[in-house]
Amino acid sequence: MSDTSMTMQQRSTILHLEDVYKRYGELLILDDIDLSVKEGELCTLVGPSGSGKSTLLRLILGQEQPSAGELTIAGKVAGTPDTRRGIVFQRYSLFPHLTVLQNVALGRNLQTGFLERRRRRKEFDEEAMHYLQRVRLGQHADKYPHELSGGMRQRVAIAQSLLTKPPILLMDEPFGALDPETREEMQIFLLELWDEHRMTIFFVTHDLEEALFVGTRILVLSQYYTDGRGELPNGERGARIVADYHLPQMASSTEIKHNPEFVQLLEHIRQEGFNPNYLQHARAFNLKHPDSFQTLSEVEHYTATSVTTSS
Ligand SMILES: Nc1ncnc2c1ncn2[C@@H]1O[C@H](COP(=O)(O)OP(=O)(O)OP(=O)(O)O)[C@@H](O)[C@H]1O
Ligand SMILES: [Mg+2]
């Protein structure tokens, strides 16, 4: 896959986070996040429950601001939510009293005033219909969300988020509420859409297998590591990106999930990010992606090398 990496080198950076911290009161959630993402990557983000994955997405969305550090989109401060980012949640992103078409058109309607909306209604409806067809739901435009299956509802939510053509699409466990079969269909569907649009996607999931299957890059966010700062007063530390791998898309067939290399990487990542008894040192994080970088504090820099402990 050297062709892919060549073109990746030439693409520009769309998202850049440097020394980003996020606190809620006394609690440090994100602890010095460094991340650089190029246009067109499909990044998946995994990590233990409560490690701060959704918090990181909210920072990228601009719904929340970092406590410290810098977060830019195409070189400009991320600021508050705007059309540079779209988001799809696990569920509840549709209005039950609006039809499927009206739900999709909402993206445009919220951006325009009442009079303009009235004047351009036909145009907006046609545009919404176009996106509905893209997610293969053209025939269901006049239905209400409760008349659709879970997978169909998520496709509506995806159409809604695509409408404003956001350069970055954020997805927080978008397929988490679906049964395994529908989930697999949606994973393939997402890959097809990504192939067609080539936008940058940031995809949070609990499911490591899903993350490895859909991603071109996997980021592991975890609070299980050591860094020479000693134990913090509450015994906890904020999460950092402890692993970052380039994933050559081995095949767009689900058979890859049974490939021994795939299974081995999955086990490796499970150990690195999810096992509280296995603590990598911050200096020894597995940051194998070509765009990965990390700034270390003086303490982290000078303390002993990898103290990997297993028990
Ligand atoms: N608005 C908030 N105020 C205070 N604490 C918060 C807030 N939002 C999140 N937290 C805390 O921040 C931590 C990280 O939460 P977050 O939802 O980002 O984790 P997550 O990795 O997405 O977890 P999950 O996998 O369970 O979805 C948790 O301890 C949570 O309780
Ligand atoms: Mg979450």
**Residue 2 identity:** S
Residue 130 has pLDDT above 50, yes or no: yes
Q: Looking at ligand 1, which residue's alpha carbon is closest to its atom 31? A: 50
The DSSP secondary structure of 32-72, one letter per residue, reads: EEEEEEETT-EEEEE-STTSSHHHHHHHHHTSS--SEEEEE
Q: How far from chain centre, in Å, is Cα 27?
A: 23
Out of 105-109, 135-139, 150-154, 198-202, least confident range:
105-109
Atom of ligand 1 minimally distant from the CA of 64: 1
Let me know: does 239 contact 29? Beta carbons within 8 Å.
yes
What is the pLDDT, as a whole number, of residue 251? Answer: 57
Ligand sitting nearest the alpha carbon of 47:
1
Residue 80 has pLDDT above 60, yes or no: yes
Q: Which residues surround ligand 2, an ion (CB under 5 A)?
A: 53-54
Residue 41 has pLDDT above 90, yes or no: yes
What is the pLDDT, as a whole number, of residue 3? Answer: 45
pLDDT tens digits, 193-206: 898 888 999 999 98
CA dihedral sign, ordered 247, 83, 142, 96: positive
Q: Looking at ligand 1, which residue's alpha carbon is closest to its atom 7? A: 24
Q: Looking at ligand 1, which residue's alpha carbon is closest to its atom 4? A: 24
Measured in Å, residue 221 CA sits from the centre of ligand 1 at 13
Residue 132 has pLDDT above 80, yes or no: yes
> Residue-wise over 29-58: b if at least 16 C-beta within 10 A, else e?
bbbbbbbebbbbbbbbbbbbeebbbbbbbb
Measured in Å, residue 84 CA sits from the centre of ligand 1 at 24
What number of residues does the chain have? Answer: 311
Span between the terminal Cα atoms of the chain, in Å? 38
Measured in Å, residue 244 CA sits from the centre of ligand 2 at 19
Residue 112 has pLDDT above 90, yes or no: no
Residue 110 has pLDDT above 80, yes or no: no
Measured in Å, residue 54 CA sits from the centre of ligand 2 at 4
Mean pLDDT of the region 214-229: 91
**Residue from 20, 21, 22, 24 whose mutation best tests the ligand 1 pocket (most atoms within 8 A of CB):** 24
Q: Looking at ligand 1, which residue's alpha carbon is closest to its atom 18? A: 52
Distance CA 124, CA 52 (A): 36
What is the pLDDT, as a whole number, of residue 8? Answer: 55
**Residue from 31, 49, 54, 175 whose mutation best tests the ligand 1 pocket (most atoms within 8 A of CB):** 54
Measured in Å, residue 243 CA sits from the centre of ligand 2 at 18
Ligand sitting nearest the alpha carbon of 56:
1
Name all domains of the chain by residue range, CATH numbers in brackets: 1-84+167-247+264-297 (3.40.50.300), 94-165 (no CATH)
What is the pLDDT, as a whole number, of residue 5? Answer: 47
Mean pLDDT of the region 40-68: 96
Measured in Å, residue 86 CA sits from the centre of ligand 1 at 20
Q: Looking at ligand 1, which residue's alpha carbon is closest to its atom 14? A: 52
Atom of ligand 1 minimally distant from the CA of 173: 27
pLDDT tens digits, 248-262: 765 567 777 788 888
Ligand sitting nearest the alpha carbon of 221:
1
Residue 2 has pLDDT above 50, yes or no: no
What is the pLDDT, as a whole number, of residue 239? Answer: 95
What is the pLDDT, as a whole number, of residue 292? Answer: 94
Atom of ligand 1 minimally distant from the CA of 49: 25
What is the pLDDT, as a whole number, of residue 269? Answer: 93
| Residues whose beta carbon lies within 6 Å of some atom of ligand 1 | 24, 29, 47, 49-55, 206
pLDDT tens digits, 224-280: 998 877 666 655 689 999 999 998 765 567 777 788 888 899 999 999 999 988 888
What is the pLDDT, as a whole number, of residue 250? Answer: 56
Residue 115 has pLDDT above 90, yes or no: no
Distance CA 271, CA 275 (A): 5
Mean pLDDT of the region 114-128: 86
Say which residue, 272 or 304, is predicted with more confidence: 272
Residue 303 has pLDDT above 70, yes or no: no
Out of 204-208, 270-274, 294-298, 300-304, least confident range:
300-304
